[in-house]
Chains A and B, each alone.
Chain A
Amino acid sequence: MIDTSVQIGPLRLKNPITVASGTAGYGEELSRFYDIGALGAVFTKGLSLKPRPGNRGPRIMETPSGMLNSIGLENVGLERFLGEKLPFLLEHGATVIPNVAGHSIDENVELCAVLSHTPGIVAVELNVSCPNVKEGGMAFGTSMPVFTRLVEAVRKVTAVPLIVKLSPNVADIAEFARGARESGADAVSAINTLLGMKIDIKKKKPHFYNRVAGLSGPAIKPVAVRMVYEIFAKVDIPIIGIGGIADTGDVLEFLMAGASAVSVGTMNLVNPDAAMACVDGIAAYMRSEKIHSLREIIGVAHPTA
């Protein structure tokens, strides 16, 4: 039996393959394609206290090897999450990590306080990087003083491992990883979507109601790998790598760049089986390469001191 488990600070996952927030709903749809309990974890859709309707359409636009989205954190709100969505996930054996996307510091604090004391929730992911909402969102993730104040406040009330999902829309992402660590975060997820835009040349105006949108998919993978590599080189904090992962080869790239685990995101939408293929693929790789622990390859692309 191959041991595919990975350690992310205080959090142990059965394997390094997770599904990214916003591309997996609350696990219900993916559970029709495979056993969601076999994933390392399920990061659920960005959550707010009250339900949010999200942005006006259009919300999606394909780009070369990627897509722009402007969903705007449509979600069911805390009450329905706890009452309907979480029980479903737990019944299906999923390892659940809610993504927390409050408008304000207070809202994030309240969400994390409740969620982290809810049985079955193994960690929370703080979303400081959504580019598609007017308040909160990316504003939290691009201003260092606001960012550290938020992480510190959330840390105080969070009784489970705290993961901070970083925005790539900054000059130096490693500085934010450092800020997260110093403010008490246990791990970082990198990266959220890159800020992008589409102009409708017939209407001569931005395609999206919100003007800007988040770019994801294989197109951003090289950027994500570079950012994971930089964080690993400069800051001692576990990293969950995200950005255009489509197959086992991509997973290995992120692990070698320094990620301790990864999330499959946009490719879930294209190929709902993608993450499960990676779970099987990593086990097969370990077997064929005679690797006993993924520790042997995490960060191996960095020069040895």
Chain B
Amino acid sequence: MNTLIQKPEEVAEGHYRLRIETPATLVPRPGQFINIRVSTGTDPLIRRPFSVYNYEDGALEIIFRVIGKGTEIMRGYEAGRGIDYIGPLGRGFSLCEHSSVLLVGGGVGNAPLYYLARELKKKNNRITYIYGARSARYIYCKDQYRARADDFAAVTDDGTAGLKGFATTLADEYIRKNAYDRVYVCGPTVMMAAIAASASIAGAPVEVSMENYFGCGVGLCSGCTIETTEGLKRACVDGPVLNGNIIVWQSLTD
């Protein structure tokens, strides 16, 4: 059991940051996730996966959006309580060096890209960041993101922050104009599918972090299997970060 350092902090409407004390031996890689057992009872039963938002000085942070019974319980956690989690789990992002990279996040899917941007910065990459959200009130920790990026743009569906429109449109424009060495995306499936397509046309490698429903998070149940051109992959152990060009997106977006 790892201790919750502070009460969940609301960083944007309905979005919370959780800080958990973590053994120094378990340093996560960007893109990895932890699988939290929300309650000690049997309801809710299945663990909830959350990608690592940040890791520093033995404290691991996640961002969660309250969407159901599990996250509703988590919102009410008090500081000092034990958090039953397994992790860090899964395959994370690959880290380039001295490269020009584009990071595109959608909604709560921006979370793993913060830790990624931090680590990429250490490796002397030039980072362009597109932060997509439905509305200004759902954007969290914007200044922290901005501070890690060489170029930063926010895009909202309703235009209340940054540009009005979709992150996919701006990403497509950027990808056409610039020769990125790598594109990293995390967000809704349709968004990842569109950006993977843009990157693929431009010939840029693209990595996406899948967020489909996980049964166990450790590879036991094959509940999160994804169709790829290289056969079936379990998102929890073969991912969650996968090469965006091998995913059969149509099988996920129907």
Contact = CB atoms under 8 A, between A and B. Distances in A.
Interface stretch (A63-71, A86-94, A100-108, A223-231): A63-71
A132 to B, nearest CB: 12
Contact of A269 (B221, B251, B252): B221
Contacts of A32: 218
A71 B223 CA distance: 6
A61 B220 contact: no
Contact of A56 (B44, B212, B221, B251): B251
A65 B86 contact: no
A62 B46 contact: yes
Interface string A38-82: 000000010000000110111111101111010100100000000
A249 to B, nearest CB: 13
A268 B216 contact: yes
B43 A65 contact: yes
Given A53-B232, A74-B232, A270-B37, A60 B223 contact: yes
A122 interface: no
B219 interface: yes
B222 A74 contact: yes
Is chain B's binding surface mostly helix, strand, loop or mixed? loop
Given A23-B221, A60-B224, A272-B218, A65 B46 contact: no
B220 A23 contact: yes
A24 interface: yes
Interface residues of B, number: 26
Contacts of A74: 222, 225, 232
B253 to A, nearest CB: 11
Contact of A59 (B44, B219, B220, B222): B222
A270 B221 contact: no
B45 interface: yes
Contacts of A64: 43
A29 B219 contact: yes
A45 to B, nearest CB: 8
Given A62-B44, A62-B45, A65-B45, A272 B223 contact: no
Interface residues of A, number: 35
Interface string B232-251: 10000100000000000001
Interface string A263-277: 000101111100000
A59 B225 contact: yes
A67 B225 contact: no
B37 A60 contact: no
B42 A69 contact: no
A219 B45 CA distance: 10
A246 interface: yes
Interface in B198-214: 212-214
27 contacts: A25-B219, A25-B222, A32-B218, A53-B232, A57-B212, A57-B252, A59-B223, A60-B214, A60-B215, A62-B45, A66-B42, A67-B215, A69-B221, A71-B221, A71-B222, A74-B225, A217-B42, A217-B45, A246-B42, A266-B45, A268-B220, A269-B46, A269-B216, A269-B220, A269-B221, A270-B45, A270-B216
8 closest Cβ contacts across the A-B interface?
A60-B223, A269-B216, A65-B42, A60-B215, A218-B42, A29-B219, A59-B223, A62-B46
Interface of A: 22-25, 28-30, 32, 45, 53-54, 56-62, 64-67, 69, 71, 74, 217-219, 246, 266, 268-272
Given A58-B213, A218-B42, A272-B216, 6 more contacts: A25-B219, A29-B237, A54-B225, A57-B212, A74-B232, A266-B45
